[in-house]
Amino acid sequence: MGSASAASCRDVPGLRSQESARSVTVTFVNRTEEYRSVDWLDFDGQPVSYASLNPGESFRVETYRTHP
């Protein structure tokens, strides 16, 4: 199981979703002591809010491998 540090979508210029037929299930778990938001980058590279996680909360989503 991997982990990620807190970062902004704006930290990765040029990153955007691409077409894909390969689905995946992703579970985000907030193991910090702070609020975290889960954003998806759309096909134009713009962040779209998916979930708001308080400490200890999780969010599971069906998505695609090429959707950051």
pLDDT in tens, 18-67: 566 778 898 999 999 999 999 887 888 788 898 999 999 999 988 776 64
Q: Which of 19, 28, 16, 21 has the alpha carbon at shortest distance from 68?
A: 16
Architecture of domain 17-64: Sandwich (2.60)
For the chain, the distance separating the N- and C-terminal CA atoms, rounded to the nearest angstrom, is: 17
pLDDT at 52: 96
More confident residue, 55 or 15: 55
What is the tally of helices (H) and strands (E) in the chain? 0, 4
pLDDT-based confidence at residue 11 (cuts at 50, 70, 90): low
Domain segments of the chain as ranges: 17-64
